[in-house]
Chains A and B, each alone.
Chain A
């Protein structure tokens, strides 16, 4: 499967624990985006990363949330000290990025469903 891979598909955490969500972009894609979908809502942008760089984090909550996309390995979205309001579906998307294969859309993974007990 050459698509965007996210794991785990489902994650259950208790309040106060940490959640780590992983995303491997499509082959040849160097740009990763994280979105969150609350029930009955559309997807909301969180953060946009290139390898080892955060390009845009304007959608990230100021506290407890962080993201990285290291030189080797998947992108990680980390939520510390989770609260019930963090329960949502978290989607990762990837693209080749501007200037390469221009107008290639963002392709999405199947998401991680995070449930907070």
Chain B
């Protein structure tokens, strides 16, 4: 039972343009959502998070949007840079501090 889904296995974007990564969830108990970036042979690196009381959170080039009614969140990266090329994982938890449920990841390639 995949409670967190990233339906796009990969995404290719031109440098300088916007990257939009999407994530859907099914468990209405989830109230804390995170995005992680992962390079090969390294652990996931935290990017940005959002709690269910908000619908948007920004940190530099990264913005996460949460649509609770649609059970959907997205990560926007503007402008995209070649160094952003990595696997991006969406994760969710029911209450902060609890276990994270991860999506399968989206491979982002930013072309220069």
Which among B95, B98, B100 has the highest number of chain A CB atoms within 10 Å? B100
CB neighbours of B104 from chain A (8 A): 40-42
Residues of B within 8 A of A105 (CB): 34, 46, 49
In the complex, chain A residues whose CB is within 8 Å of the CB of B45: 108
Whether the pair B101, A45 counts as a contact (CB closer than 8 A) is yes
The closest CB in chain A to the CB of B44 belongs to A108
Q: How many residues of A contact B (CB 8 A)?
A: 30
User: Looking at the complex, which one of A33, A42, A56, A103 makes contact with B96 (CB distance below 8 Å)?
Assistant: A103
Contact of A98 among B42, B49, B97, B105 (CB under 8 A): B97
Contact: B41 with A59, CB < 8 Å?
no
Q: Does chain B have a CB within 8 A of A102?
A: yes
Given A103-B51, A109-B43, A110-B43, decide whether A42 and B99 contact each other with a Cβ distance below 8 A.
no
A10-35 contacts to B, CB under 8 A, are 31, 33, 35
B residues contacting the other copy or chain, number (CB 8 A): 26
Once the chains bind, are A44 and B102 in contact (CB under 8 Å)? yes
Question: B96 and A110: CB pair below 8 A?
Answer: no
Q: Which of B46, B51, B103 has the most CB of A within 10 A?
A: B46
Query: Which of A35, A103, A113 makes the CB contact (< 8 A) with B49?
Result: A103
Q: Is B89 interfacial (CB-CB < 8 Å)?
A: yes
**Do A106 and B100 have beta carbons less than 8 Å apart?**
yes
Q: Is there contact, CB below 8 Å, between A31 and B97?
A: yes
Interchain nearest-CB distance for A91 vs B (Å) = 6
Contact of A102 with B98 at beta-carbon distance under 8 Å, contacts A43-B44, A108-B44, A111-B43 already known: no
Nearest B residue to A40, CB-CB: B104
B44 vs chain A, min Cβ distance (A)? 5
Cα separation A53 to B67 with both chains bound (whole Å)? 36
In the complex, what distance in Å separates the CA atom of A91 from the CA atom of B102?
Answer: 13
Contact with B along A77-113 (1 / 0, CB 8 A): 0000000000000010101011000110111111101
Q: Which 9 A-B pairs have the closest CB atoms?
A: A98-B97, A108-B43, A42-B102, A45-B99, A42-B104, A110-B43, A105-B46, A43-B102, A108-B44
